[in-house]
Amino acid sequence: MPAFQHAVDLGYQFIETDVHATRDGVLLAFHDEELDRVTDKTGRIDELDYAEVAEARIDGREPIPLFADLLAAWPYVRINIDPKLDNAAEPLVKALRDANALHRVCVTSFSGQRTKWIREELGPDLCTGLGPMGALRLRLSSLFKPLGGSWRGTVEGCAQVPVQQNGMRLVDQGLVDRAHELDIQVHVWTIDDPEEMNRLIDLGVDGLMTDQPEILKSVLENRGKWR
C-alpha cells in the first residue's frame, strides 16, 4: 500500500494496479504472477491459498495488499485495473459489486475475452479498455478512416497503449485525433521521461501512466495542468 499512498499523498486521483487471485479466490493488488521477484516467499499466486500468500512481505517489509482494501482506503480515487489471469475475473467482479465501485474504475486487459466477460457481468456502464486488438483497429482507423464505421456502438471508453509496439509507432497526432472523434480517450504507458511526457501532452493524450509520479506532477505543474 505505501506506493499507492505515496501517489495519493502527491495529489493523484487516478492510480493503476494489476490484480491476481489466489487459489482460493482472494484478490490481491499485485503486479507479478509469482512472489519470487519482490517478496521473501516463492511460488505462483494462483497456485497458493491466501493463508500462504499472506505471509509474504514485499522487500521483506510490507504485506501484499488486498484489492478490497485498496478500494476502501480511498473511496474518492479512481482506479485502473488489469486482471492478469482468468482466475482473477470472477473475484474482481465480486469485489467491484461489493464495494459499489463501478463508477470509479476502468478495467483493461491484454485478453479481450477476459475484458468482454467482465463487461457482460457488470454491464455496459463499466469503463473498459480496447485491448491490443482494439488498439490495432484504432490505429488502422486513424490511417484509413473508412474503417471507422466498424466502431459504431463501441462500449470501450479508452485506448491504453504504449507509444510504440513491435517497432510500429502507435501514438501520434492522427491516432489521438481519431480516438477523440470516436469519443475514446487515449492513455499511454509507461512514460517516465519528462520530454516524452511533454510531447504526448502536446498531442492531446488524455492520460499518462508512469512509475515516476513526482516527475509527472512537476511536468503538469509547469504546464499549469495540475489540479
Last residue of a domain, one of 88, 106, 128: 128
Regions of the chain with pLDDT less than 70: 146-156
Q: How high is the pLDDT of residue 224?
A: 95
C-alpha cell at 7: 501517489
Can you give the pLDDT at residue 167? 83
Question: According to the model, what pLDDT value does residue 131 have?
Answer: 86
Going edge to edge, which strands form the sheet with 14-21?
Answer: 27-29, 14-21, 78-83, 105-107, 127-128
Q: Do residues 162 and 70 share a domain? A: no
103 & 191 share domain? no
CATH for 221: 3.20.20.190
18: closest CA among 8, 7, 4?
4
Half-sphere exposure of 208 (CA within 13 A, CB side): 28
Q: Is 211 exposed, middle or buried (0-12, 13-18, 19+ CB in 10 A)?
A: exposed
Whole-number Å distance between alpha carbons of 197 and 192: 7
Is the entire prediction scored with pTM above 0.95? no
Domain span at 85? 1-128
pLDDT for 153: 41
Task: Return the pLDDT at 152.
Answer: 46
